[in-house]
Each structure stands twice: as structure tokens, then as C-alpha cells.
Chain A
Amino acid sequence: MNKVQPETILAVKDLVVSFTVENTTTIAVDRAGFELSRGETLGVVGESGCGKSVTALSIMGLLPQPAGRIEAGTIEFMGRDLVTLEKKKMQKIRGEKISMIFQEPMTALNPVHRVGKQINEVYRLHYPGMKPDEIGDRAAGMLAKVGIADPEKVLKAYPHQLSGGMRQRVMIAMALCAEPDILIADEPTTALDVTVQAQILELIKELQTRMSMAVILITHDLGVIAENCDNAVVMYGGQVVEKASVAMLFSNPAHPYTQGLLTSIPGLASTPKTILPTIDGMVPSLEDMPRGCRFSTRCPFVFEPCRDKAPVSLSVGPDHYAACYYLEKEQ
């Protein structure tokens, strides 16, 4: 477990992302920050609208235009700030150094082109000099690597002819063509059945070790985080509320939101047919986020300062950070 301090390859600092739709500007990500080391699996967990996907899209430079805008902060990848990087250079990094797979592989693949054509395109983009024959071989090899039994057949298939699990494998193959340093997986198994989910997560883990890449695993499923990640970031309402190693986060959650989340899911340890602890209310929409701590409207420990100003992240243990006034008071 305890290795030498590994090299940080991605550092997101104080990222603020806004969306402007019909002249209303909302802050989707508010001063989010985290680091990713080489070979690490970082989980980003939160409910819908918590800003986890927007953060990922910001890293990829794929925020929907013109609505989305990075207002402040830096995304440092191997010493370069991706926020200010020019478009051409960003294109070089995207796909080649940092790749992404999405939740719904059906919408991420082009339905009117065969799988082979779509994979070949990736190779042509990243390896301009490569001969068509070699591209074909490499594409088939890549599909074999992601556990597709009959690559030639799949290369000739259209996306709709493949099952959900197969399509996600194809997506992973495409994302890994150029052997990136970072793979961002945005809810990669949410649309899949549990038995297929287990297959895909196992595959990502295996490829990660083989290619020594870092993985950012975005999900709403705490079980997926617990089983697959080294460290995790909990997001709520666009803010990072807690950061810790997975072991720490699950054994000793600090932030009231994380605590609420962990106790409210029915797990194998909970007593069946009993009333579950809940987090009152619901996630506020981005337009009417409370001032101050965004969790203050639902927090059982809320007190005066929470409603005024957003709390800053503070250390609550070794490599364990949480943003909460209540914890500050306790300390």
C-alpha cells in the first residue's frame, strides 16, 4: 500500500465553471480541486448535478460551447495549464494523453459508421503516417485486448448490432488506442447490468495495470468507488466537500453529506424492512443554490456561519480533507 510518493500528473486547482443559458449564469463547479498521481484510480462521487461530469469535461476541454466557460482556476497536466492551452495543442493532448469514455456508449458511437471505420479514424488522427494495413491490424489487436472474442466481426458491425457491454468495450478500445496517461471514465457502467458491470470494471483495472495509466472514475455508486478506487473526491452542488483515501472515506467519513450518503444506502449490513436514515430534502437546483455552504439546507448540523460563507477545505486527518464549519468547530 505505502509506496514512494508518486508523481502528480494532473492537478485541478480552484476550478470554477459557469454555464450561461438564456442570459442566466449559473455556477456548475465552484472552486473544485484535486490531484491525480500516475497509476492512481481516483473516484469522483456525487449525485446528478453535483458537477462531476462538468469537471471531467473541463479537463478534456470539451465544455459545451458557447454556454460553458471556465471562469477561474487551473488544470495542470504535466506542468502545463490546460485551461490556457491553445486549441491545436489541446487537440494533441486530448485522446493521446487524456482519454474519456462516457456513460451511454450508444450515443457516443456514430450509428451510421461501422465500428472499424470509427476506430481507424482514431489511429489516423493520432498516428498520421500509419499505413492502412497496419491501422487495421492495430484496431483488431486493440479489440482483442479489451476482451472481444471475434474482433474481425465486430470491426464490420454497426454499433446497434452490439450489446451494451460490447459497445462499452469498443469505447474503451477507442479511448486507449493512443495509450493515454489518464483515462476519465464518466459513469462507464451505469447503463449496464451488474454482471456486465463487473466485467467492464475488471477490464479497466487490468488495462490500467498493464498500461500504467491513471484513471478518474466518475460515478454515483459508492460501491463502485469502494471496490475500485485508491482515493475519492465527494462532490455536492459543484463543490468538493470531502477528499480522502477510500479506506478512510468509508471507515471514517467526515463531512455530514458523506456520512448521510453512506448511511442512507441499503447495504448488505443494513437490517431489511427497517426505516433507513435519510438526508432530508433534495439536491437544490443550480439556479437556487444556497449562499454559503451548499449543503446547509439539508445538513443536520447546520449552524450560523454555514449560511453566510462557503467553508474552505481543511485537513481532518492524514491526507483527509473536508469543507465544513461544524468540523472546524469540533476541532
Chain B
Amino acid sequence: MNQKEQPILRVIDLKKYFPVVGGVFLKQKGWVHAVDQVSFDLHSGETLGLVGESGCGKTTLGRCIMGLYPITSGSVMFKGQDLSNLDRPSKRQMRLKMQMIFQDPFESLNQRHTVREILGEKYRIHRKKEQSLDRSLVRLLEVVGLGERALERFPHEFSGGQRQRIGIARAVSLDPDLIICDEPVSALDVSVQSQILNLLLTLQEKMGLTYLFISHDLSVVRHVSDRIAVMYLGRIVEMADRDDLFAHPLHPYTRALLSAIPAVDPLVKRKRTILTGELPSPENPPQGCRFHTRCPEVMDICKKNEPLFKRIDKAGSDHFAACHLNDRGWHF
């Protein structure tokens, strides 16, 4: 990636803790460390895939960047400006350029509004002129592969894939720069998934979009991403160029994830690392390395010291990982 140019999105030490309350007086009992010290840059026009299992904090991270959750500490810089320092009008201007696509196209569209109202709302909120609204809406529907007739219909009249197209139309309507896609194809049928992925790729090329693509499906992430970040219990444990990550995963968790993808080829019999145990609770993450309770290559130091998330020189230009194994000159 081009390092000289300023990143479109820069996330620095972002933390999001949710309070846990309990008892009769709803006293605070602790914190869920949903996202813990996450930093990364996203450059214009690229796609960063964010993978991890349920509960790893990937959705929370996406929502923090969008400003849907107030962040606990750290900062989100969008086009060089810190979003938390902006006043309301400038924030609104920023928001215009940052949009989100949700997983469930059934719940993210208002059932009582027609497609015209759903798509038109954006223009109203951001006070865009209404004059050519109809023409813009029709053009918008064409872009996402739906006909003009869709305008007067309600979300329930569409299939899942078409609804996701409406969600995408809504996201791209005001010509954004960055789109956060939160599991955009997970709820769709296999034969429809590829249609939506194609649409996202085409739009990216046409409109010069930057994507943060959140998904649990590694094959899908591999297909759309330039770089991939792997999250585990609120932290990014590894981040690298797509091909680099798949060819030389440096974190044992990444290796386990990669080996767990079922291959669509019965002749490929791979050595499989099956992780034992389950994801620990983010309310009480393990001491030291958060992955040490399930790591097949755990060492003594892992239980005491948390490994630093740092650039691994020997691996490639931009390969980052947080694992003690890499300090010991291990090669994989």
C-alpha cells in the first residue's frame, strides 16, 4: 500500500468497554473489554477485511468507527480530522462520507416505509435539494441492479438479496468515501452471495470506495480484501496483506482459523489444527496473551506477558502480529 499518502481512516488505540451491572441496585460489577487498544490505518480505495469469531469485537469496532457507540478512549481520525473533537455540523458533514451496510437486510430497513422513503430519507436528513430526487433515486436503483418499479414497494416484497441491494443503495446514495460493511452477505443464500459481492466490487471500482469489510467468513474476506486483520477477544492479533496472511500466517490463532475453513474440494486433505476449548469471556480476559488458554503452542511467557502487536520484519513489508513465538526467531 502507498504509505506516503494520508490514510483516509486512522484508528488509534481505540478502546470500548461496556459496563456490566448486576444486583438489586444495578451496581457496576465490571467491564466487558469489547475492543481493546486497536490501531490501524485504512488507505483510500483499499479494502481491509476484519475477521474473527462471534464476540471478538469486530462489529463493536465497526460501530465505534461509525460513531454509533461512544468510544471509551483512543481516537478515530477520518480524513485527518479527529471525529471526537468535531462540533455537530462538521460531524454531520463527515458522516455523509462514511456509511454502513448491515448484516440483516430484514431488520435494517424500516418495514413501514417504501423504498422511495427509505432512500429519500438520506437526502432529506442531509438537506440535499429535492428537485431531481426522483431521477437520482431511479439512477441509484439502476446502479444496484433494481428497476424503477422498486420505488413504490415495501421491503417485505423483496427477497433477501434484493433487500441487501436496497441497503447498499442507501449506503452509496450520497457518494460516500468509506463504507463499513458488517457481514453484508452472511444472511444470504449461497447463490445470491456472489451477486452481492460482485456488486460491492463493481461499486468500489466505479466510485473509488474504501471498505472496512467485517465478516466471519474467511473465504469471502479473502475474495474482497487487500489487507486482512484478525481479531481475537477485542484485539487485533495479526494484520497483513491478503496473500501474505494466507501464505504465512504468523499467529497461531490465524493458523487455526485458516485450517478450520472447510475446503470445497474433497481431494484436498489438509492437516487441521482443531482448537480446544471455547472463547473466554471478554469480561475477564486471560492474563498475558489472551489466546494462551487455547493456543496449541503456548509457552510460559505467554501466561505472564502480553505480547506486543508489532511489525515482523522478516515476514514481509507490512506484516504485524502479536505473538511471543515471533520474538524467538521461529519460522513457519
Contact = CB atoms under 8 A, between A and B. Distances in A.
Contacts of B194: 264-266, 276-279
B198 A275 contact: yes
B224 to A, nearest CB: 7
B264 A265 contact: yes
A227 B190 contact: no
A140 B265 CA distance: 38
A194 B189 contact: no
A213 interface: no
B220 interface: yes
Interface in B175-223: 189-195, 197-198, 201-202, 216, 218-220, 222-223
A292 interface: no
B263 interface: yes
Given A226-B265, A247-B267, A194 B218 contact: yes
B44 interface: no
B159 interface: yes
Contact of A223 (B216, B225, B262): B262
Interface residues of A, number: 45
A265 B195 CA distance: 10
Interface stretch (A30-38, A80-88, A119-127, A196-204): A196-204
Given A266-B223, A275-B202, A283-B191, A227 B274 contact: no
B264 A276 contact: no
Interface residues of B, number: 45
B264 A194 contact: no
A282 B159 contact: yes
Interface string A216-235: 00001111101110000000
Interface in B38-64: 47, 53-54
A286 B3 CA distance: 53
Nearest to B262: A223
Contacts of B47: 273
B257 A264 contact: no
B131 to A, nearest CB: 35
Contacts of B266: 226-227, 246-247, 250
Interface in B136-172: 159, 161-162
B242 A224 contact: no
Given A195-B260, A266-B220, A260 B278 contact: no
B191 A260 contact: yes
Contact of A194 (B53, B192, B242): B53
B225 A272 contact: yes
Nearest to A201: B262
B189 A48 contact: yes
Given A251-B267, A272-B242, A276-B194, A224 B274 contact: no
Interface string A180-207: 0000000000000111111100100000
B193 A265 contact: yes
Contact of B219 (A163, A260, A266, A275): A266
Given A193-B53, A198-B274, A272-B225, A223 B267 contact: no
A223 B191 contact: no
Nearest to A260: B191
- Pick the most buried of A198, A222, A226, A276: most chain B CB atoms within 10 A of its CB: A198
A289 interface: no
Given A47-B191, A220-B190, A228-B262, 9 more contacts: A198-B260, A220-B189, A222-B190, A223-B264, A266-B222, A266-B223, A273-B224, A274-B201, A275-B201
21 contacts: A198-B259, A198-B272, A198-B274, A198-B275, A220-B190, A223-B219, A226-B262, A246-B266, A250-B265, A264-B191, A265-B190, A265-B194, A267-B219, A267-B265, A268-B219, A268-B261, A269-B265, A272-B224, A273-B224, A273-B226, A274-B201
The 6 closest A-B pairs by CB, nearest first: A223-B262, A266-B223, A193-B53, A264-B194, A47-B189, A276-B194
